[in-house]
Amino acid sequence: MTDAYIVGHITVQDPASWAEYRSKVPGTLTPWGGELVFRGQQRAVLAGDNPHTDIVVIRFPCMTALNNWFASPEYQALIPLRQQAAQVDLLAYET
């Protein structure tokens, strides 16, 4: 089985709403075996362009789990809050 990852490139626009969103996401990951790998803030762009200031990486046991998490009613309910709080580009990767 291969791991699957969500990488989120983030620019926070509403810190209070973003904090609320971040506090609610972990509970949506558990049923799908998702785990937060890291969150961080950009300190430098060493090559190319990156307009976002933050990043998040979440690991899942497989692409099926990742897709099921994203489509789950629990996570879908958080999307309006995410859209209010930040500009987020979510990308899926598989190893």
Which amino acid makes up residue 88? V
For the chain, domain boundaries: 4-43+51-94
- pLDDT, one tens digit per residue, over 26-48 is 999 999 999 999 999 999 999 99
How high is the pLDDT of residue 88?
98
Mean residue pLDDT across the chain: 97
Residue 3 has pLDDT above 80, yes or no: yes
- Write phi, then psi, for 14 (nearest 5 degrees): -135, 95
Query: What is the phi-psi region of residue 48: left when phi exceeds 0, alpha when psi lies from -120 to 50, beta otherwise?
Result: left
Residue 1 has pLDDT above 90, yes or no: no
Domain 4-43+51-94 is in which class?
alpha beta
Quickly state the pLDDT bin for 66 (edges 50, 70, 90): very high
How high is the pLDDT of residue 39?
95
